[in-house]
Amino acid sequence: MAESTAPRDAQDLVAATASAARTAQRSIAGAPRAVKDAALVAMADALVAHTDEILTANASDLQRGRDSGMKPGLLDRLALDASRLEGIAEALREIAALPDPVGQILDGSVMPNGLRVRRVRVPIGVVGMIYEARPNVTVDVAALAIKAGNAVILRGGSAAQDSNAAIIAALRSALKAQGLPPELVASIDAAGREGATALMRARGAIDLLVPRGGAGLIRSVVENSIVPVIETGSGNCHVYVDASAQQDEAVEIIINAKTQRVGVCNAAETLIVHREIAKAWLPRAAEALWQKGTTLHADEQALQILAPAAGAGGHEALLEAATPEDWETEYGSLDLAVRVVDDVQAAIEHIRAHTTGHTEAVLAQDASVINDFIAGMDSAAVIVNASTRFTDGGQLGLGAELGISTQKLHARGPMGLAELTTTMWIVEGDGHIRT
Amino acid sequence: MAESTAPRDAQDLVAATASAARTAQRSIAGAPRAVKDAALVAMADALVAHTDEILTANASDLQRGRDSGMKPGLLDRLALDASRLEGIAEALREIAALPDPVGQILDGSVMPNGLRVRRVRVPIGVVGMIYEARPNVTVDVAALAIKAGNAVILRGGSAAQDSNAAIIAALRSALKAQGLPPELVASIDAAGREGATALMRARGAIDLLVPRGGAGLIRSVVENSIVPVIETGSGNCHVYVDASAQQDEAVEIIINAKTQRVGVCNAAETLIVHREIAKAWLPRAAEALWQKGTTLHADEQALQILAPAAGAGGHEALLEAATPEDWETEYGSLDLAVRVVDDVQAAIEHIRAHTTGHTEAVLAQDASVINDFIAGMDSAAVIVNASTRFTDGGQLGLGAELGISTQKLHARGPMGLAELTTTMWIVEGDGHIRT
């Protein structure tokens, strides 16, 4: 809207960058796979070759972060070393090895009047990305975008600005050396915060905008962008343990879903247990979760069942009464909400009322319970008898992912290369007219 | 954004309507095809059975339209009679006959670790539609939405409010008689203009918003909605006639593309001609276009070629010098911009600079010209040796269409039933955890 326009110079920078990106994109839109793959491999090599410059820049970001009191967890996500950089370069080579989505024919037929019709994958065009302080995202996004025939305009977090600048310089030098326009990968960090606003208003110049970062960043982009947006990453994931669940398996799965990596969006946040097995199973699961240091936020029934076990094991500090906010919370930490329900239908109602639509798991051996659960869900992924942690581009066979979409349009769940394309209808006739 | 919130009562109406629609939608989300098809046939029958009430309501809309000076073309689009209503009902029966998109498995495989993975089409959920004065849209949208397992919330134009209310009442009575919740088809016309604003702000409650109508309506929805939007209908379509074109065919095609129906978005608006055939072909094409009453807005070269022919045939009034605005204009009338270019590359550059990304046609027998043209386009449809009028859901085998998307996300080109669905990943394991 008019009231949230960016200052003139930020708008100018974004307009000029987007225009150069559009021109550059045309040079790879229909490029053979070999050209794009060679560029990606050259980009990977350039990252390694520029290790010194990138680590020096990263050290300056880290110093600024420490000076401004950045938390250790965030500092760790920002930090690079030669081995992490090699890992980032390796991920880039893996993207080069993926099949090319461009040119794939999705469907087609000969119409009754003889028209030959096909729908073909083509690049989206110019992709914008607004993200926070993780330098590896800069590389992943650039690689996925180019592999799918797109140009990318990056707006990284100010905390990583020196690292991102050094990385982008290395990537652009590789593109140039390959005879490709360096404008395929551009940054608008120079425009500061206003650059992000200008990016969100550049409808037509930018074809797709993907925010990746905290909930505040994502909400701001969703609410302010008139460029089409794909929302990513918010995951209040549930695990329902039915009366028919295989109980040992269920303990392993909830431990994996909650504790294998706590900061990720596909970690479990709420455990829902059928009352018939709650007394037998919940204390076992709780003991294993407590061993990992997990605090349980239990509803009344769960609290009654768990209190004696917590007392006996000395885990009183890891058991709390749940509040209504617990059902809505994506903890991102060793915390788990726990609820006991009467049946699968009650579990479905709880999940539908509180989920962010990312991933829900059902642990059951009763086929009708599994079917009811799947039919009752409205989320990007439903997992049966496995950990929620499998909602991941790599695990589901996409090779790599740009993020995990929790919206229903265009992309739902892990976004791979195909989600960075659109389609074009190609219709061939022999002088056909409509009558 | 906070500054464009709707008044409290409009927000309340939209929230209550959306909540009821969500509940209703769950009852058909997984319904077998037979249930949905029976509902659609009952809706068609109800429209015919309620002919009297609907025509009475329509007469009142028409009277109000005439009193307020509505133009004849718009009055005609608004007008219903028994035969038009039967046609609308028939279209509804045709939608019932289409295959069910829900439950279709798009892809799937067994991962190396044994996880069984599939991606399945599921309904989007609650679809909002903001549209202008064409009562048949009310029926088409309701039918497509229900066939794809969705509920729909309609905000029609005030000019058709009585017709829409009568139509919606008939549709709801049919749903009820079939044992389905009437809330599957809801109107928020009672909330007036503020209802549209509230709909655009109802992110989470509404899964998808489709505006259908004039450019002003569509722009307003695109700029103000925080609900995901699919933009439809803007078509500045081009026809390029190459030096290698089959010339008789090319005359037939441009006549069809421009004059068969002038108000539609897939009509041609600019004709681009290779200079090598301009002298021979353009006067022939112009003569045929003039016979149909088409005004040609010609660039300098075309004007030089056409002026003698216009003079000889007494068509001076149908030949004008083109202004820069002509290249940008979707006339929607018997007007056509005409330009002569040096080669296919110049045609590509012209089209990329001026198109709305709907449909472009190339008329050529030279395969390398055709390939260059296809590779150079960035539009929803490219047509080879046929009329632009084929960009249409029915013509391309989709059966029916909700509109024609000119954006790149989720839907591009004609939107059929599949575009009213999203996908869900279903992942089945046997106690799988991530390591």
- pLDDT given at position A398: 87
**How far is the C-alpha of B304 from the C-alpha of B278, rounded, in Å?**
11
Type of residue at B144: L
A74 part of a folded domain:
yes
CB contact under 8 A, A397 and B109: yes
Contact A386, A361 (CB under 8 A): yes
- On whether any CB of chain B is under 8 Å from the CB of A64, the answer is no
- On whether any CB of chain A is under 8 Å from the CB of B105, the answer is no
Give exposure, B356-368, as e/b (b: 16+ Cβ within 10 Å): bbbbbbbbbeeee
B401 part of a folded domain:
no
Kind and range of the H or E run holding B151: strand B151-155
- pLDDT given at position A83: 96
Number of domains into which chain B is organized: 2
CATH number of the domain encompassing residue A152: 3.40.605.10
A401 part of a folded domain:
no
Number of CB pairs < 8 Å for A and B?
214
Which of A256, A384, A429 shows the shortest C-beta gap to B384?
A: A429
A405 part of a folded domain:
no
CA proximity to A341, closest of A426, A274, A266, A265? A274
CB contact under 8 A, A408 and B386: no
CB contact under 8 A, A408 and B117: no
B190 part of a folded domain:
yes
| Residue B56 lies in domain | 2-232+411-428
- pLDDT given at position B5: 63
User: A207 with A272, same domain?
Assistant: no
Chain B 190-219, residues with CB within 8 Å of chain A CB atoms: 203, 207-208
User: B187 with B289, same domain?
Assistant: no
- pLDDT given at position B3: 40
A433 part of a folded domain:
no
B114 part of a folded domain:
yes
Min Cα distance A432 → chain B (Å) is 5
**How far is the C-alpha of A354 from the C-alpha of A363, rounded, in Å?**
19
Chain A 375-404, residues with CB within 8 Å of chain B CB atoms: 375, 377-387, 389-391, 395-397
C-alpha angle A341-A347-A352 in degrees, rounded to nearest 5? 140
- On whether any CB of chain A is under 8 Å from the CB of B65, the answer is no
- On whether any CB of chain B is under 8 Å from the CB of A353, the answer is no
User: A105 with A173, same domain?
Assistant: yes
Longest dimension (CA), chain A: 84
B293 part of a folded domain:
yes
CB contact under 8 A, A429 and B396: no
Give exposure, B207-240, as e/b (b: 16+ Cβ within 10 Å): bbbbbbbeeebbebbbebbbbbbbbbbbbbbbbb
- Residues with Cβ within 8 Å of B429's Cβ and at least 6 positions away in sequence, in order, are A383, A384, A385, A386, A387, A390, B114, B115, B116
Bridging pattern class, strands B359-363 and A421-432: unpaired
CB contact under 8 A, B224 and A386: no
User: B245 with B196, same domain?
Assistant: no
Instruction: Give mean pLDDT in consecutive 10-residue pieces for chain A, a chain of 435 residues.
Output: 63 95 96 97 98 98 96 89 95 94 95 96 96 87 96 94 97 98 96 91 93 86 90 90 98 98 93 98 98 98 97 96 97 96 98 96 98 97 98 88 90 94 98 96
CB contact under 8 A, B386 and A431: yes
User: B17 with B152, same domain?
Assistant: yes
Place of tokens 């498995």: B105
- pLDDT given at position A109: 94
- pLDDT given at position A58: 97
**How far is the C-alpha of B127 from the C-alpha of B29, rounded, in Å?**
13
CA proximity to A39, closest of A150, A143, A127, A137? A143
Residues B121-170 pLDDT 10s: 999 999 999 998 788 889 999 999 999 999 999 999 899 999 999 999 99
User: A167 with A298, same domain?
Assistant: no
Low-confidence ranges of chain B (pLDDT < 70): 1-6
User: B264 with B161, same domain?
Assistant: no
Residues B69-112 pLDDT 10s: 999 888 988 999 999 999 999 999 999 999 999 999 999 999 99
User: A39 with A186, same domain?
Assistant: yes
User: A71 with A217, same domain?
Assistant: yes
CB contact under 8 A, A228 and B380: no
- On whether any CB of chain A is under 8 Å from the CB of B256, the answer is yes
What is the complex's ipTM, to 2 decimals?
0.92
Chain A 30-59, residues with CB within 8 Å of chain B CB atoms: 30
Place of tokens 């989300």: B29
- pLDDT given at position A26: 96
SS3 breakdown of chain A: % helix, strand, coil, rounded to 5? 50, 20, 30
- On whether any CB of chain A is under 8 Å from the CB of B155, the answer is no
User: B166 with B93, same domain?
Assistant: yes
User: A47 with A181, same domain?
Assistant: yes
- The helix/strand/coil state of A117 is strand
Which of A224, A228, A430 shows the shortest C-beta gap to B1?
A: A224
Type of residue at A122: V
Which of A222, A390, A425 shows the shortest C-beta gap to B391?
A: A425
Q: Which two tokens stand for residue A316?
A: 């009183």
- On whether any CB of chain A is under 8 Å from the CB of B176, the answer is no
- Residues with Cβ within 8 Å of A357's Cβ and at least 6 positions away in sequence, in order, are A378, A379, A380, A406
CB contact under 8 A, A380 and B252: no
User: A298 with A417, same domain?
Assistant: no
